[in-house]
Amino acid sequence: MKYGRIIIACLIGTQLLFGQAKRDPRMVSMAGAYTTLADGIYSVGVNPANLAFQHGKPFMLQLGTFNFGFVNNYLSLENYTGLSGANLEANNQEKKKEIYDEIGDALRFTTDIHVGLPVLNYTSGNMAFTSDMIIVGDIGLPIDMFYLMLDGNPVDRPLDLTIQYEVMGLAEYGFSFAVPYEKFSWGITLKYLQGLFYLGIDPDSSFTNVYTDTLNVAFYGDGRYFIRQGIGGNGYGLDLGFTTYDINGWKVGISLINALGTIYWNRPSGMKDLLGIDENNGLFTWGGQEVLEGQAMVYEFTIDSVNGIGLMENSFEDNFNSTKSVVADTIDGGDPRPFTIRYPSLFRIGIQKQVDPDFLIVSDMVAGFQDRLFVQRKWKWSIGVKFTRFPGFPLRLGYSWGGKDFKQLGLGIGIHKGPIMFDFGLAFRNGIWLHSMKGLALSFGVSFTGSGGRNGGDDEPGGELFPDEEE
């Protein structure tokens, strides 16, 4: 129980340091251009219709995979080293304007960790069984916070300093199958979502307001954060996919990931038993008090009459008051208040062209349906190429523009010898060089297949639905 709590606390803490949640090394190296290319186990979470192209291919057993990524919309080595008082004030404060433009509404940090559970991901024929652990986090620092730091408190309007924060851990179990037809296939993934933990600021019950009183020339403000926890939950999800037959080297695919997906929190679960969470034991402490099941955390503050003279005569704490409290978050009967989290959805459309036997071009368009966690309601365009000139050593390169990452450069390699397939992918996120990138994605995985490999050891999703049938 003790170690379980430590692990969960560390995972939550790392979200500030470290988004599609479902990733693998091949996807990372192709910068997300993957809808038509994903093969075997890797089809799940991308386009389950590709499972139909496994005719003539052996089984695939995933021995292990690990992916982590983080990204933000401003901080980079280049931007950090360019910050100075002189730069900020030069050229009519042009640098400040650039910072505000890049940040937009908020400085956003998004992160995800995806681990395929060893030996519990298997595909054969047109079916697949998968089991993955996913941790996603999202934090947003409002633009008004940077206006306050760089330009001081304005006298013409109040400042909204409300912080956004969510972190969620879940296990995703899926059964996938595809149905081939003469010219196309369709596929479906049925998911069971086991909620592990959730911690987030409730936007409907949280606020901050800071303003300057021009009459008294003083700084005032107040705020309240309602932080909700969820330990243990469950839900269901659904992926849908469609892929065409290979026609003159061309192929088109469409998928809807998490078309239906909701997690219901604070339900009885084995996670609570594992961590020892009950009415007498909690996972977190807040304000020196343990936060028990059915409780939430509240942070409140007030700023009263802060001005230059007051700060010289008194400490800031004399004018700034804050409290941390633990409050009940229950329904009638005293049970923890259930709440739901919509599992973010993605729409994917992709096309590929087999230029020659050794050169493949793939392109995708991807968009989310909401702005939270690992998705964003902005289109992301990706293009990737794969070289298979050297059998058993596929090389991959990709570039994307738009979406949460804005721009991304991916590269990777596979080592596919006999039954063992090792793949590695690396991507610079929101920047294409070490000094300009604002995030990173790293992924590697090992899979086991038949002794002859999967069509020479490469990751092509096959060309024909019915290989024995003549055109």
pTM of the model: 0.82
Residue 27: count of CB within 10 angstroms of its CB: 32
* One-letter amino acid for residue 216 of the chain: N
Q: Is 455's pLDDT higher than 80?
A: no
Condensed to tens digits (0 to 9), the pLDDT of residues 264-293 reads: 988 877 777 777 777 788 888 898 899 888
Give the up-direction half-sphere exposure of residue 203: CA atoms within 13 A in the CB hemisphere: 9
Averaged pLDDT, 435-439: 91
Which H or E element spans position 274?
Answer: helix 270-275
Torsion of CA 5, 226, 342, 348, to 10 degrees: -90
Cα–Cα distance for residue pair 164/136, rounded to 1 Å? 14
pLDDT of amino acid 93: 77
Averaged pLDDT, 33-40: 94
Cα–Cα distance for residue pair 52/50, rounded to 1 Å? 5
Condensed to tens digits (0 to 9), the pLDDT of residues 147-160 reads: 878 877 776 678 88
Which tokens hold the place of 72?
């933000």
Condensed to tens digits (0 to 9), the pLDDT of residues 80-130 reads: 877 766 667 767 677 788 888 888 889 988 888 999 988 889 999 899 999
% of the chain surpassing 90 pLDDT: 42
**Which of the following CATH numbers is that of domain 2-18+21-449: 1.20.950, 3.40.50, 2.40.160, 2.40.360?**
2.40.160
| Least reliable range by pLDDT among 249-253, 387-391, 461-465 | 461-465
Indicate the length of the chain as a whole number.
471
Assess contact for 366 and 347: CB atoms under 8 A. yes
Assess contact for 210 and 294: CB atoms under 8 A. no
Cα–Cα distance for residue pair 308/216, rounded to 1 Å? 12
